[in-house]
């Protein structure tokens, strides 16, 4: 069987074609979206779980070395690895929140795949993380299809997160391809996520239309100007229909991180003065919330960071604030504080103000936020997102007739209003924010593999 597979930064989903209808499959209980989260007692458990419970192969020198090290570590830690040792989605989040100190947890693994400077064994580990998630999702999907799923078209952004340019993109694609093949897929192809979203919209068109697809995902913002319509439908070669495209490594996660940094971290001492009157260094506070940056998180949770934070508490004019940052370090609560910001973002998409509870840092600690404060906090990443539209319009020789807006972060009134100001006379169609890409990938999969 053939599927479209959106391995997303925020959520994962898959879809199939059945009797001419395209539909997403439940992969998290009855839910069609699996939040992109994974947890285990420690990270080495993932490799042994794949090997022992799912028969995943370890063939290259890097893979073999990773597995051997994992087996030794788990044995030394006296950790039995069961079929339930690795959790996904909200189950992973619950496991982490219940015991953040003693649970290995990663949100949005896709964010790290294009990271610059990864060593071969680090890449092998990310192969395992992605493989574990893909294998779990394929198995969940097969429970509903009752048919083996062996062919997939996987979505990809125009540019993955990372600073390595095309080399970073190829690194990320390599990880996704290897992971999918090891997870049991026989044939794997890729399609740009904004193009896939456009393919879903194209199914509704009755004549050729110039469509600007704006796909604002969890980790990236991608824009494509496409010729779409009945005459293009079902064609396996679509290069002539792609008029321009652009993408940046900024998405909904960056809005959450920036809101956390600008509005929540001052409650933990960010921007406060030292006893001498000088400003405390801001890097520890940024590293604390930069959950999509491997190096930043590694620096923040290093042993030397604890010593630095203890020293900052002594030097601070308001040590009670910086003590909260030390608590966050000790309890490994970076993901929790960014998730608090994410929930505030979601609330402020439908209301003018919200209250952000931070009880896990200190009993009774809360912070009041308004839509105006939210807009000010996210101004920098918002402008980077809009710049992608500007770049597409500069590449193209013609203007779009319609904007198709989709992606998990596309619901924000701020983003829609900014687009309306940028292209004031172009109608905006709101897509299925959490389904357009997946359904479009499925249409493309059925075109390629039929």
pLDDT in tens, 202-239: 999 999 999 999 999 888 899 999 999 999 988 888 88
Mean pLDDT of 326-341: 95
pLDDT tens digits, one per residue of 421-434: 999 999 999 988 88
Task: Please list, residue by residue across 182-214, b when 16 or more beta carbons sit within 10 angstroms of its beta carbon and e when fewer do.
Answer: bbbbeebebbbbbbbbbbbbbeebeeebbbbbb
Residue 427 lies in a domain: yes
Please indicate, yes or no, whether residues 133 and 96 belong to a single structural domain of this protein. Answer: yes
HEC-encoded secondary structure of 115-184: CCCCCHHHHHHHHHHHHHHHHHHHHHHHHHHCCCCCEEEEEECCCCCCCCHHHHHHHHHHHHHHHHHHCC
Please indicate, yes or no, whether residues 230 and 151 belong to a single structural domain of this protein. Answer: no
Provide the pLDDT for residue 76: 97
Please indicate, yes or no, whether residues 156 and 218 belong to a single structural domain of this protein. Answer: no
Longest dimension (CA), the chain: 72
Provide the pLDDT for residue 163: 63
User: Whole-angstrom Cα distance, residue 333 to residue 341?
Assistant: 13
Please indicate, yes or no, whether residues 340 and 393 belong to a single structural domain of this protein. Answer: no
User: Whole-angstrom Cα distance, residue 431 to residue 403?
Assistant: 10
Provide the pLDDT for residue 165: 82
Helix axes of 252-259 and 379-395: crossing angle, nearest 10 degrees: 150
How many domains does the chain fold into? Answer: 3
Provide the pLDDT for residue 266: 98
Mean pLDDT for the chain overall? 94
Residue 310 lies in a domain: yes
Tokens of 411: 């619901």
Residue keyed to tokens 């458990």: 45
Provide the pLDDT for residue 162: 63
219-to-140, 162, 248, 257 alpha-carbon distances in Å: 24, 10, 9, 11
User: Whole-angstrom Cα distance, residue 267 to residue 320?
Assistant: 10
Looking up residue 399, the CATH number of its domain turns out to be 3.30.420.40
User: Whole-angstrom Cα distance, residue 253 to residue 293?
Assistant: 11
Please indicate, yes or no, whether residues 54 and 93 belong to a single structural domain of this protein. Answer: yes
Residue 131 lies in a domain: yes
Provide the pLDDT for residue 287: 97
Query: Which contacts of 391-395 are long-range, i.e. CB under 8 A and separated by 24 or more positions?
Result: 391/223, 391/246, 392/212, 392/223, 392/224, 392/225, 392/244, 392/245, 392/246, 393/225, 393/244, 393/423, 395/225, 395/243, 395/244, 395/245, 395/246
Split at pLDDT 50, 70, 90, the class of 269 is very high
Residue 191 lies in a domain: no
112-to-163, 226, 300 alpha-carbon distances in Å: 11, 29, 17
Please indicate, yes or no, whether residues 374 and 386 belong to a single structural domain of this protein. Answer: no
Please indicate, yes or no, whether residues 27 and 170 belong to a single structural domain of this protein. Answer: yes
Please indicate, yes or no, whether residues 6 and 123 belong to a single structural domain of this protein. Answer: yes
Look at the alpha carbons of 432, 436, 442, 448 in this order and tell me if their dihedral is positive or negative. Answer: positive
User: Whole-angstrom Cα distance, residue 248 to residue 265?
Assistant: 26
Quote the domain boundaries for residue 352.
Answer: 253-379
Provide the pLDDT for residue 360: 95
Last residue of a domain, one of 151, 185, 219: 185
Please indicate, yes or no, whether residues 130 and 225 belong to a single structural domain of this protein. Answer: no
Please indicate, yes or no, whether residues 307 and 333 belong to a single structural domain of this protein. Answer: yes
pLDDT tens digits, one per residue of 376-397: 999 999 999 999 999 999 999 8
Provide the pLDDT for residue 225: 96
Helix axes of 413-422 and 379-395: crossing angle, nearest 10 degrees: 40
Please indicate, yes or no, whether residues 24 and 160 belong to a single structural domain of this protein. Answer: yes
User: Whole-angstrom Cα distance, residue 141 to residue 131?
Assistant: 15
Choose the weakest-confidence range: 38-47, 141-150, 413-422: 413-422
pLDDT tens digits, one per residue of 401-412: 999 999 888 878
Please indicate, yes or no, whether residues 151 and 81 belong to a single structural domain of this protein. Answer: yes
Is residue 164's pLDDT more than 90? no
pLDDT tens digits, one per residue of 97-128: 898 888 999 999 999 999 888 999 999 999 99
């Amino acid at each position: 069987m053939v599927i479209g597979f959106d391995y997303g930064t925020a959520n994962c989903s898959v879809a199939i074609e059945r009797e001419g209808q395209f539909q997403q499959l439940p992969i998290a209980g009855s839910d069609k979206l699996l939040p992109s989260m994974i947890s285990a007692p420690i990270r080495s458990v993932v490799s042994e779980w794949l090997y022992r419970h799912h028969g995943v192969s370890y063939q290259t020198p890097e893979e073999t070395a990773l597995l051997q090290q994992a087996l030794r570590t788990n044995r030394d830690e006296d950790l039995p690895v069961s079929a339930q040792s690795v959790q996904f989605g909200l189950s992973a989040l619950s496991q982490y929140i219940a015991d953040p100190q003693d649970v290995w947890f990663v949100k949005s693994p896709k964010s790290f795949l294009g990271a610059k400077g990864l060593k071969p064994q680090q890449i092998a580990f990310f192969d395992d993380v992605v493989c574990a998630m893909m294998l779990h999702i394929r198995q969940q999907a097969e429970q509903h299809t009752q048919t083996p799923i062996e062919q997939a078209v996987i979505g990809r952004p125009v540019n993955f997160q990372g600073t390595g340019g095309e080399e970073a993109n190829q690194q990320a694609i390599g990880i996704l391809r290897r992971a999918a093949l090891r997870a049991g897929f026989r044939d794997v192809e890729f399609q740009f996520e904004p193009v896939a979203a456009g393919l879903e919209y194209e199914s509704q068109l009755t004549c050729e239309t110039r469509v600007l697809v704006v796909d604002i995902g969890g980790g990236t913002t991608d824009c494509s100007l496409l010729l779409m319509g009945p005459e293009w439908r079902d064609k396996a070669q679509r290069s002539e229909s792609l008029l321009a495209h652009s993408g940046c490594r900024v998405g909904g996660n960056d809005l959450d991180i920036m809101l956390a940094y600008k509005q929540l971290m001052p409650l933990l001492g960010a921007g406060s003065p030292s006893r001498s009157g000088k400003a405390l260094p801001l890097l520890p506070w940024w590293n604390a919330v930069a959950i999509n940056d491997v190096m930043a998180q590694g620096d923040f949770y290093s042993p030397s960071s604890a010593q630095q934070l203890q020293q900052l508490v002594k030097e601070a004019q308001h040590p009670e604030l910086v003590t909260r940052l030390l608590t966050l370090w000790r309890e490994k609560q970076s993901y929790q504080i960014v998730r608090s910001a994410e929930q505030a973002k979601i609330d402020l998409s439908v209301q003018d103000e919200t209250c952000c509870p931070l009880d896990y840092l200190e009993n009774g600690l809360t912070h009041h936020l308004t839509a105006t404060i939210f807009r000010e906090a996210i101004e920098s990443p918002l402008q980077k997102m809009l710049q992608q539209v500007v770049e597409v319009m500069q590449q193209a020789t013609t203007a779009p007739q319609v904007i198709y807006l989709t992606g998990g972060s596309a619901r924000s009134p701020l983003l829609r209003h900014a687009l309306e100001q940028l292209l004031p006379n172009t109608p905006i169609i709101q897509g299925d924010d959490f389904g357009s890409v997946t359904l479009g990938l499925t249409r493309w999969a059925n075109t390629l593999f039929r």
